[in-house]
Structure 1
Amino acid sequence: MKNVDYIIVGDGYAGLFFAHQLIKNKKSFVIFSEGRKSASQVSAGIINPVVLKKFTTFWKAQEQIDFLKDSLKEIEAYTRKNYLIEASIHRIFHDENEQKLWLKKSGTEELSGFLDENFEHLDIVKNDFQAGKVTQSARLDVNGFFKGLFEYLENNNFLIKEKFDYTQLDPTGSSYKDLNFKNIIFCEGMGVKDNPYFSEIAVVPNKGHHIKAKLSQPIPENITIKKKHFLFPTGNGLYFYGGTYDRDQLHHHIDDSAVNQLVNGLSEFYPYDFEVEEVHFGFRPTVKDRRPIIGRHATLNNLYVFNGMGARGILNGCYFSRDLFRFIENDIPLHEEVSSKRFQ
């Protein structure tokens, strides 16, 4: 039998950022990855402190941005790669009212650090009312992040490439097959619905599509453009445009209506020809109150859930991984807003 401090089940942002906490704190662990692309792996990788529909911010936005940037520097120390892309979001205004609202909000204490009060005119795309820049926004190199971390985990014998089998788990004996563990963390996204220990948690699937398009006229490389959705270059002459939100069409194949929505959305502000080369989709685990669900099983004290990251998987997964680690190791209580107990 092999002894480990932790087993992590799930390989999205929650699982990998929690693995980072364990690496940083010199804990032994294994992480189960069944090799399917998670919602995290097809995500846009947008790092954004502002809700761009209403120009508002959210709970702990500044702390989450700061903590993410520090964590990515720590990850760079052992993967030898920097996954942060300094490409600010530029939100195209629909009309003068949006300009006025942005200016009003940029003068508030809550948003002055995030909304640049100087508007810009963007090249190539249609932006009759100009665009506002979100300061402190950026992108994660999603493909690089997962590739680099999986390589590191595999090279250090942390990675188990197989589907976790719940029937082989003995929580009372703290064992799984040939592993003895102290704690097991389930970070499975929507896969939690198949988990007999946490299937009742209140996560709701939200299906998101994005396209990869070939644009006939390139747009600037160093920014992320947002109108209805996000547009940015991904390399190889392709551009990411997405993603949609759908709580109703939850089948496991591409929705033509979502693709049409994206094509129409891009056509609205990109006035040149483009071709859709790829379509991708994933299921975000969302929660009614837009807070993650983190906590310990009601009766099995070595089982934990870390889920409900929603559309802010990078920021939530990174920031709350530390809270979960401190809760387990140091008995520091979780915020009531994210504790799984709030639904009991």
Structure 2
Amino acid sequence: MSTVDYIIVGDGYAGLFFAHQLIRNNKSFILFSEGRKSASQVSAGIINPVVLKKFTTFWKAQEQIDFLKKSLLEIQGYTGSNYLIDAPIHRIFHDENEQKLWKKKSVSEELKNFLSENFDLLEGVKNDFLTGKVDQSARLDVSGFFIGLFDFLDAGGYLLKESFDYDELNAEKSQYKNFQFKNILFCEGMGVTKNPFFSDIPVNPNKGHHIKVKLSEEIPENITIKKKHFLFPVNDGLHFYGGTYDREQLHDQVDDSAVEQLKKGLSEIYQSAFEIADVKVGFRPTVKDRRPIIGRHPEHQHLYVFNGLGARGILNGCYFSKNLYNFIEEGIPLPPEVSVDRFK
């Protein structure tokens, strides 16, 4: 029987960023990956400290941005690759009132570090009322990040490419098949609904679509454009456009209505011809109070959950992985705002 410090079940942002905490602290672990692309792996990879509907920020935004940059530098140290793309968001204004609101908030204490005071005119897209740049925003090279981390984990013997079988888990003896573990972490996204130990945590599926398109005319390539959705270049001469939010149509298939919504939204800002090359669907695990769910099982003291990252999976996954590690290893209490205990 093999002995490990941790078993990680789940291969999205929560699982990989927690694996990074284990790597940097020289902990032994096994990560279970089913091989299917999770919602994280088809996400846009947007790193954004601003809520772009109302021009507000959110809890611990600056701390999360700073910690992500630090963590990605650490990950670069062992994968050899930089996954941070310096492509700031440019928000297209709908009208003059949005310009005025942005200008007002750009000098507020809360947002002065995130909202540029100057407006820009972009070539190739319709932006009659100009755009505002979100300072400290960027993108993650999502494909590169997951390929790089999986390759590293596979080469180091950390990766098991198989589904986790709950029936094989003996929680009392801390055993799973031929593994003896100290702790086991479940970070399965919406897969948690099938987990007999944490199926009652209140995560809700939010279905998202995005499309990849071939544009007939060039647009700025070193930025991320946002109006209704995000538009930016990806590989093979294509552009990403998305994503939608849907809490009602929760089947696994593509919804034609969502694709039409994306086509309409893109046509509003890009008025040249484009061709849809691909459509992707994913389910974000969201929580009513928009905070992750982290903590220990009430009966089995070596079982933990890390879920509910929502649309800010990169920032939430990175920042709160450290909180969870410190809670398990050092007994440092979790912030009550993200603790699973808040739902007792």
Q: Which amino acid aligns with 1:249?
A: Q
Deviations 1:1-37 (A, max 9, x none): 0000000000000000000000000000000000000
Q: Counterparts in 2 of 1:179-258, with a 5 A limit? A: 179-258=179-258
Deviations 1:281-335 (A, max 9, x none): 1000000000000000010000000000000000000000000000000000000
The runs of at least 4 consecutive aligned structure 1 residues that moved more than 4 Å come to none
Residue in 1 that maps onto 2:70:
70
For 1:301 and 1:235, the matched residues in 2 are separated by: 45
Unaligned runs of 5+ in 2: none
Residue aligned with 1:119, SS: strand
Q: Which amino acid aligns with 1:260?
A: E
For 1:235 and 1:297, the matched residues in 2 are separated by: 42
Residue in 2 that maps onto 1:286:
286
Residue in 1 that maps onto 2:299:
299
For 1:150 and 1:193, the matched residues in 2 are separated by: 25
Q: Which amino acid aligns with 1:125?
A: V
Residue aligned with 1:6, SS: strand
For 2:115 and 2:332, the matched residues in 1 are separated by: 34
RMSD after superposition: 0.3
Q: CA deviation at 1:218?
A: 1.8
Q: Which amino acid aligns with 2:28?
A: S
Q: Which amino acid aligns with 2:254?
A: I
Q: Which amino acid aligns with 1:166?
A: Y
For 1:18 and 1:127, the matched residues in 2 are separated by: 40
Residue in 2 that maps onto 1:341:
341
Residue in 1 that maps onto 2:13:
13
Q: CA deviation at 1:220?
A: 1.2
For 2:105 and 2:288, the matched residues in 1 are separated by: 26
Residue aligned with 2:115, SS: coil
Residue in 2 that maps onto 1:163:
163
Q: Which amino acid aligns with 1:163?
A: S
Residue in 2 that maps onto 1:310:
310
Q: Which amino acid aligns with 2:239?
A: Y
For 1:235 and 1:200, the matched residues in 2 are separated by: 40
Deviations 1:102-149 (A, max 9, x none): 001101000000000100000000000000000000000000000000
Residue aligned with 1:101, SS: helix
Q: Which amino acid aligns with 2:236?
A: N
Unaligned runs of 5+ in 1: none
Q: CA deviation at 1:221?
A: 1.2
For 2:227 and 2:161, the matched residues in 1 are separated by: 39
For 1:287 and 1:174, the matched residues in 2 are separated by: 29
Residue aligned with 2:213, SS: strand
Q: CA deviation at 1:219?
A: 1.2
Aligned residues: percent identity?
72
For 1:181 and 1:269, the matched residues in 2 are separated by: 53
Residue in 1 that maps onto 2:35:
35
Q: CA deviation at 1:235?
A: 1.9
For 1:79 and 1:235, the matched residues in 2 are separated by: 21
Deviations 1:69-120 (A, max 9, x none): 0000000000000000000000000000000000011010000000001000
Q: Which amino acid aligns with 1:198?
A: F
Deviations 1:145-190 (A, max 9, x none): 0000000000000000000000000011010000000000000000
So what's the TM-score if we normalise by structure 1? 1.00
For 2:261 and 2:113, the matched residues in 1 are separated by: 32
